[in-house]
Every structure is written in structure tokens, then in C-alpha cells.
Chain A
Amino acid sequence: MAFVALGQGSAGNSSAPKKASRVAFILLAPGMIYLGLFFLTPLVSLVITSLKTASFTGEIGMYDYGFQVSNYAYALDQYLPQITRSFIYALIATLMALLISYPIAYFIGVKARNKPILQAFLLTLVIAPFFISFLLRTFAWKQIFSNESPATQFLQSIGVLAPDQYVIGSSFAVIAGLTYNFIPFMTLPIYTSLERLDTRLVEAGADLYATPVQTFWKVTFPLSLPGVISGTLLTFIPISGDYVSASRDFLGGSDTAMIGNVVESNFFRIQDYPTASALSVMLMAAIVVLVSVYVRKSGTEELL
């Protein structure tokens, strides 16, 4: 359709651009309508809910429309530890995922470049966890490190854990679970960047007196930065809002709750919708600010 419009345009009449823009509009419409219905509407509703006041009748779970900005202050005051914890966990898990993923991506994208079968096999291994629901995978980890499991008993016997200490319920378990679940999201974008790396540039680095380590930091890493940035964004953002790993039903304990868990309990357990909504809006705003600062600082627009 678009080609037809282009063809007519070249024949030379002034109605062509108008026609082309109508085609573009028709093509865009389904996406726009979908986003309007299922993204914009809930977002507006969320903001409205976050400003509601307690019901006049005092009934639990009922709220009136209002403009109670103090909901935000209350949420912040009440749940600051969980908010801070969310971002600290997300930061650590993102860094861990980066440290683990980069060598994997480098090996698949550069070292295995001339071995297509090995490359395909390794990529499949990276993607394989997606074949199973991440709830099940997280649950499997809970089983492996459950309090009576051989793994936990082994750690207790060699003294890494005290006899009354357990893996499940610790910050370590939550961060490890988050890292594990998001490694493919980090590996794949970095792999895509490294796969295009021109190894002749690495040779040029060596030719210009740079040791392999110096060449890595001055040539290879900067050129893979677009992948590193999209990888870190794809991990950091969902981890900040994750509520599975940190939940007490999975790897978390009494003092590992993240924003997601607080939102969940406010919504479904104590039915404090305005507070839950305020927390959600704040999480979203914080991520938007953090991400835009990060993208600007890392200067992605400077890259290729």
C-alpha cells in the first residue's frame, strides 16, 4: 500500500503526501488504539486512584474521588526502606547480571563467530530458561535451597551458614534469584552488539601498542556499549518492579520486601488502593528519571 502511494507520488501530483500520511495513519491506528485503551487508560486511572480519599462512610476498601496529595507523603514515609531496597537490589542484580553476561556474550559473539553450530547451541542455552515459566524456575530455586535441602545443609556444615541460618529469606537469595531470572535479557543485547564487532579494529588496537586488556577497554567495550546500555535497561527496569523473587512465597523473607511486594499487599491484602497507586506512580517516575539521566550520561546518541 505504501509502495503504491510512493509510486503515485513520483508520477508528480501534490495529493501524494496527503495520501501517504493517510496510509501511515491507517497503519498506525491499531497500535495507537491499543495503547490508548490498555496503557493510557489504566495509567490515568492509576493517577486518579492515587489521589483518592478514604470513604466518607469509613467502609474498608471504599474510596472517594479527591486530590489528596498527602497519599504520596504517607506512602513515602511508610515504605521508604522498601523503596530504597528495591533500587539497591536492582542495582546489584543488574551489575551481577552484567558481570556474568558479558563474558558469555563475548564468547558467543566473538570467539564462536566462525563456529555456527557452537554459536547456535550456546544461544539456545541462553534462551532455554524461557521455555519454562519463570515462576516455576524461581520455585525450583526455592526447592533447591529450601531449609532442609542438601544444598543448605552442606553450606551449614562447611560453616558458610550458621546452624540457624538459611538461604531462603535472605537478601542474597533474592538478589541471586533476580540476577538469574534476568541474565538472558542482559546477554542477548550485548551479544547483538558484539556479534557485529569488527575484529580488525581489535587488531588495529594491538598494532597501535595496546595490550589485549587496553584494547578491550578502549575499543571492544566502547563499541559494545549500545548493547550494554539496552541490556542494563532491560534488566534494571523490570527488576525494580519485580515482586516474585522477593516475595515470601518464593525466595524472600520478612525483611526483603521490595516495592512490588508492598504494592501487592496494599492492593490485595489491606485494600489501601490510594497508597498502592501512589507507590506505583512513584516507582514509574523514579525509573523515568533514573533512566533518562543514565542514557544521557552514557552518551548513547554519540554511538554510531
Chain B
Amino acid sequence: MATEFVARGQDLELVGIHKEFPGFTAIENLDLKIPAGEFFALLGPSGCGKTTTLRIVAGLDEASRGKVLIGGKDVTASKPHERPVNTVFQSYALFPHMSVLENVAFGLRQRKVADPLAKATEALQLVELEHLALRKPQQLSGGQQQRVALARALVNRPALLLLDEPLGALDLKLRRQMQVELKAIQMEVGLTFLHVTHDQEEAMDMADTVAVMNKGEIEQMGAPEALYDRPKTAFVARFLGQSNIFVGDVVEENDHSISISCNGQRIAAPKKRSEKHSGKVALGVRPEKATFHADKPDLDSNHNLVGPGEIIDIRFTGVSNQYLIDVPGFGDITVFAQNVGKSPVVELGAHVWVSWKVEHAFGLSDLPLKADNDEA
């Protein structure tokens, strides 16, 4: 299996993966299907089981239960060296006693591919490092080592390329640059990428599909835009970008929307954007979707309006200002306003009203551990 080159990536299917370590469960009943040729990101905080998932796919760890299928073939019982999979390790794991070129040629030599050095040189050209081919890995910078690790994996044309937070050790500028290059390379070679990361921007920026993982389970999966626009759980709403989340009992439900009451004030969300329609429900809105007004505006029923509240913090972040507004009964509401001169000029302590369109609100399936309107 490992001896044949594949023209394109193959699909990956995980069926009922379960992984127990002594004392805790790392992965609970994970089902996942990644179509061939896709850039798939597994996103989650450290300790959520994402790296363990990747190691199970690579064969470096064994699942307690469940099956791994690559291109339809069951590889659960295969050893790592028998799987058509290559990994770009977080630590790069370049062989320190070999030159860069020999590192890249390693997999080709193992599989007795003809002309390994020429193919390795080609792979180094792809990552623009052919001029450093004869150096030792430790003579390279972090970014260069990362590219060698990528070339060493890519040159084998694996059915599936696994990336274990390979950009984590790089500084911000280099990371952005590598993200662009990585994405370009993936489009060029058409391989299936499984990228594990805790960086939500990185995941949204590069992946076709993002799966948000928490405590050994996938909470939500979808295109980055869909995930950001309509998070379904409180964890996703807060891990992928920021959210203002309010909890209250549903007081009205009609064909189009549901409304909850928070300390006497009502806020609404579209019914088709809400997971739960009765009982205690959490509604949320993204900070950039909310605006604030110096005077109470006269808005129609397509808007939620709360206030007045006091501005307790203003942060200048360059493209936008972040305002933290303490609205009695609603807690601290975060509002992003782009610095284009449209927001009212306000100072700390000013009293403002906050509004957002009902269509921008979303309803969650669960309740957050702590909502913004919880009275601490």
C-alpha cells in the first residue's frame, strides 16, 4: 500500500474512535469523514484530544476502540510505516545526523523509489529551500526547518498529510506567510490535509472544513463561514471568535423568531437560527454585529435594543475599537466598531444603548457555563 504513489489525496474515515489513557478518556466515540483533496482543520484547545486523534490516524497511537479507514481501506491494524500517511510534526522531528536533502529523501529511499535525490531536490524547490539542501537541520531557522519537514512529508505524495500544529513555533509574521504557502501547496498538489491546531484564525483562514473539538468530542463541524456565522454550542461560539451570550426563558415563540426575557428586557433571535425553542435558552451575537448609540434610537422589531449601559473599557486595536459596555441585567457586552468614523465618539463612563439586528442573533443548543447576563 505504502509503495504506490497516489495522484491525489484519499479520503479518511474514522468510525467510533475511542481512546482511553490510564485515568482519563482522551477521545469519546469520534466519527469523522474527510473527503479526498480537502483541507480539514481539527480545532480545539490543548488537551481536547485533537493531537491524539492525529496520532491514531498516523498509527503512532492505537485506538482503544473504533476503526480508521484511508481511501476505503481499513488500516486500523497497520503499523505506522505501512500507512500511506505522512506527518509534519509539531517539533519537526528532522533527523539531526542527516543533511536537509537526505531528510527529504528518507521516505523515498525507504520505499525504494527511483532517483530519490532528484525528487527530494524537487520537493525542496517547492518550499524554496534547494539552496540549503546540504546543510544540517540545526543550521536552519525555525521557519526553514518547518518547510523541510513539510517537504519531507509532501515528497512521498501521501494519501493523507497530517499537520500537527506545525506553525505553532513560528512568530506571527512568518506564521501568516507559511499559512498562505501551505494553502497554495495544498491546492497545487491536491492532497488531503488534516491540520490540527488550537489557533482559530489559522483554522478559519486555511481550511475548507473546520471541526471544533472539545473534551474528546467534535462539537460542530462545517465551513469556517458557517461555523462563525452560526455556532451551535456555547463552546464553539466562544472558541471560534468572540460572542456575547445571554440566557433567559423563552417568553414568545412565533413562526419566525423566539424571544427570551432577560431581567424584563426582551431579545429575539430567528427561529431557523436557533437550536432550542423553549425553556431556558442561550442567545448570542458577535461583537462586530452590535452597534451602540449615544441616545436611545427608535428601532423597529427587526432589532434588539438593550440599555442604557455604561462604557467601562475601550481598547484600540488598530482597525477597530473594542468597547466593553456594562448594561444592567445584561452584563458586559462587547462591541467592535471599525475605525471608520461612524461610531459616536464616546469616553469611558458614557451611557449608551446597544442594538443588533435580530437576523444576526443565534440560539445555542446548550447553556454556557457563565453567560454575560449572569449576576456574579
Contacts and interface: CB of A to CB of B under 8 A. Distances in A.
Identify which of A198, A207, A218 gathers the most chain B CB atoms within 10 Å of its CB.
Answer: A207
Interface residues of A, number: 20
Contact of B60 (A207, A208, A219): A207
Contact of B96 (A203, A218, A304): A304
A211 B152 CA distance: 17
Interface string A273-304: 00000000000000000000000000000111
A121 interface: no
A210 B81 CA distance: 6
Interface stretch (B87-95, B209-217, B287-295, B324-332): B87-95
A218 B81 CA distance: 14
B222 to A, nearest CB: 29
Given A209-B2, A214-B110, A223 B81 contact: no
B86 A208 contact: yes
Interface in B89-124: 89, 91, 93-97, 106-107, 110-111
Nearest to A303: B97
B272 interface: no
Contacts of B89: 200, 203-204, 207
B79 interface: yes
A302 B96 CA distance: 11
Given A203-B60, A203-B80, A209 B111 contact: yes
Nearest to B2: A209
B81 A211 contact: yes
Given A200-B89, A203-B60, A203-B80, A208 B97 contact: no
A40 interface: no
B119 to A, nearest CB: 14
A222 B79 contact: no
Contacts of B85: 207
Contacts of B93: 198, 200-201, 203-204
A206 interface: yes
Contacts, number: 62
Contact of A223 (B58, B79, B80, B97): B97
A223 B97 CA distance: 7
Interface in A179-213: 198, 200-201, 203-211
A203 B87 CA distance: 10
A206 B60 contact: yes
A229 to B, nearest CB: 13
Contacts of B145: none
A208 B91 contact: no
Nearest to A225: B97
A203 B60 CA distance: 7
A304 B96 CA distance: 7
Contact of B110 (A200, A210, A222): A210
Given A209-B81, A209-B110, A304 B91 contact: no
B156 interface: yes
Contact of B95 (A206, A209, A214, A219): A219
For the complex of A and B, the 5 pairs showing the least CB-CB separation, nearest first, are: A204-B93, A206-B80, A208-B107, A209-B110, A200-B93
Interface of A: 198, 200-201, 203-211, 214, 218-219, 222-223, 302-304
Interface of B: 2, 58-60, 79-81, 85-87, 89, 91, 93-97, 106-107, 110-111, 138, 152, 156
Given A208-B106, A209-B110, 7 more contacts: A200-B93, A203-B93, A207-B86, A208-B152, A209-B111, A210-B81, A223-B97
13 contacts: A198-B91, A198-B93, A203-B93, A206-B60, A207-B60, A207-B81, A207-B85, A208-B152, A209-B111, A209-B156, A219-B95, A223-B97, A303-B97
